[in-house]
Amino acid sequence: MSLCKSPAEIEKLRRSGLAVRRVLAKVVAAVVPGATTWDLEEIAQAGIRAEGASSAFRGYRGYPCVLCASVNDEIVHGIPSRKKVLRAGDLVSLDCGVLLDGYYGDSAVTVAVAGAPNPAHGRLLAVTQSALAAGIAQARAGNYLGDVSHAVQVAVESAGFSVVREFVGHGIGTHLHEDPQVPNYGSPGAGRKLREGMVLCIEPMVNQGSPEVRMLADGWTAVTADGACSAHFEHAVAITRDGPWILTQDAAAA
């Protein structure tokens, strides 16, 4: 499978990227105290339907839902549940994927429940977002994959937070997960050379405390070993002649 997409394929990935982003916007708008993560799942289901898309996640390796909703110490792959009630001050990571016209879209955001996060949470969100931005800035033809990974790692660790190793970003196209893997840690100049047409999902998972991960008995939910909070942001990024193009972000809403 070629890692480089044609302009026509990138246009399709752009449509999928904007679709998943609109779904996530609806989900984020429904994050209020008292809502359950199952309520968010239902909004994501309806949103995916409204886009004329299908879920990239439900059925993927047996994952049961269209949304991952990971609260506080949950890092990724939290399974929506009627029993999981959101409270003011919680941090909730929302990860969604769609399949539209044969091409995948995949994106994640983390938000605080009920507006202003506490200062420590606010810093975790800001650092994770700027680490993603630092990685994206390195997604240029002629750079190396390690340049992306290293930029993310430095942004996180220089702020005193830690990078999760067990989960990584990925290529995306006619499959949800394509080569190459995109770790959130690495060395400049290491790994594959980046070329025009590659489309990468860059998705730092950042822990407030130690990087250690524990898996819950549901077989999906990854939590921090020390119980501290974690944040996750993800964009799909095309490497173009003019530099990185964030497919999962509306330029007007940047």
CA distance 11 to 8: 5
* Binding to Co ion in span 214-253, by CB under 5 A: none
Closest CA to 103 of 197, 5, 12, 234: 12
- Region of 62 on the Ramachandran plot (φ > 0 left; ψ -120 to 50 alpha; else beta): left
Integer CA distances (angstroms), 219 to 62, 76, 205, 216, in order: 10, 12, 18, 6
CB of 65 to ligand MF3, least distance (A): 8
Count of residues in contact with ligand MF3, rule CB under 6 A: 12
Which residues are registered as beta bridge partners of 100? Answer: 103
CB of 76 to Co ion, least distance (A): 9
Specify whether the CB–CB gap between 217 and 229 falls below 8 A.
no
Count of residues in contact with Co ion, rule CB under 5 A: 2
Half-sphere exposure of 218 (CA within 13 A, CB side): 14
**178 belongs to the binding site for Co ion (CB under 5 A):** no
Instruction: Specify the residue, 114 or 216, whose C-beta has the smaller distance to ligand MF3.
Output: 216
Secondary structure of residue 92 in the 3-state scheme: strand
Site string for ligand MF3, 54-93 (x = CB under 6 A): ---x--xx-x----x--------x----------------
CB of 133 to ligand MF3, least distance (A): 18
* Binding to Co ion in span 61-120, by CB under 5 A: 106
CB of 207 to ligand MF3, least distance (A): 17
Instruction: Specify the residue, 63 or 103, whose C-beta has the smaller distance to ligand MF3.
Output: 63
CB of 60 to ligand MF3, least distance (A): 4
Instruction: Specify the residue, 57 or 161, whose C-beta has the smaller distance to ligand MF3.
Output: 57
**201 belongs to the binding site for Co ion (CB under 5 A):** yes
**147 belongs to the binding site for Co ion (CB under 5 A):** no
CB pairs under 8 A, 24+ apart, for 242-246? 243/140, 244/136, 244/137, 244/139, 244/140, 245/10, 245/14, 246/17, 246/136
Half-sphere exposure of 209 (CA within 13 A, CB side): 13
Q: Single out the residue of 106, 113, 191, 199 in contact with ligand MF3 (rule: CB under 6 A).
A: 106
CB of 68 to ligand MF3, least distance (A): 5
Q: Look at the block and give the residue holding tokens 């809502």.
A: 35
* Binding to ligand MF3 in span 155-194, by CB under 6 A: 170
Number of helices (H), then strands (E), in the chain: 4, 15
Contacts to ligand MF3 by CB under 6 A: 57, 60-61, 63, 68, 77, 95, 106, 108, 170, 201, 234
Contacts to Co ion by CB under 5 A: 106, 201
